[in-house]
């Protein structure tokens, strides 16, 4: 078992996110806490994502609060990649292998590690995207192109959003231009 931690600072507004990746032989787990402002309200979200040994998301949980409103979301995916949100079927994301939590850069690691691309390779993925603050689960088409050992070209929404992501050795994004950056020394 190995554990890797990271601390990010949000660039587009005040906020931080701390995460850790725990790699078990039977599947990795990603835990974190994001603290930021949403619509003028302080917000704290704790998240946990469990994957199988092939890095396919099997469950995710987000708990916390936005101002005085509680947040409690449970996601699950079965072996046929059928998803539920708080026990309710979500056929719109059937077939997705990764969860993407919109409020954190931590979950970019999941597709990066699952696809195992070499530099020069490109892959299209469809993620089960948990939109925040609506907490709706929607499909999100994404493309990852590995530029070199630590740089990726990321695009979503048919190329309307693009970014050059830099990652560390385990796949955590350390620079997400305009949105997140790793705190120095972390």
Q: Which two tokens stand for residue 134?
A: 């609506």
Q: Do the Cβ atoms of 81 and 96 come closer than 8 Å? A: yes
pLDDT of residue 184: 86
How many whole angstroms separate alpha carbon 103 and alpha carbon 65?
13
The model's pTM is 0.95
As a whole number of Å, the CA-based R_g of the chain is 16
pLDDT of residue 186: 56
Q: What are the pLDDT digits (tens) for 104-138?
A: 999 999 999 999 999 999 999 999 999 999 999 99
Q: What is the largest CA-CA distance in the chain?
A: 47
Residues in the chain, pLDDT under 70:
185-186
């Amino acid at each position: 078992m190995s554990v890797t931690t990271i601390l990010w600072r949000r660039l587009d507004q005040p906020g931080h996110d701390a995460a850790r990746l725990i790699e078990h032989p039977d599947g990795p787990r990603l835990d974190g806490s994001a603290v930021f402002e949403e619509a003028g309200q302080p917000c704290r979200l704790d998240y946990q994502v469990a994957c199988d040994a092939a890095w396919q998301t099997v469950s995710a949980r987000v708990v916390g609060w936005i101002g005085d409103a509680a947040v409690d979301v449970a996601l699950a995916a079965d072996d046929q990649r059928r998803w539920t949100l708080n026990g309710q079927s979500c056929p719109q994301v059937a077939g997705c292998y990764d969860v993407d939590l919109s409020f954190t850069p931590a979950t970019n690691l999941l597709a990066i590690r699952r696809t195992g691309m070499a530099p020069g390779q490109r892959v299209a993925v469809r993620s089960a995207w948990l939109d925040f603050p609506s907490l709706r689960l929607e499909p999100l088409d994404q493309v990852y192109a590995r530029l070199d050992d630590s740089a990726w070209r990321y695009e979503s929404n048919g190329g309307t959003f693009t970014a050059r992501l830099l990652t560390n050795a385990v796949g955590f994004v350390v620079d997400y231009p305009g949105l997140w950056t790793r705190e120095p020394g972390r």
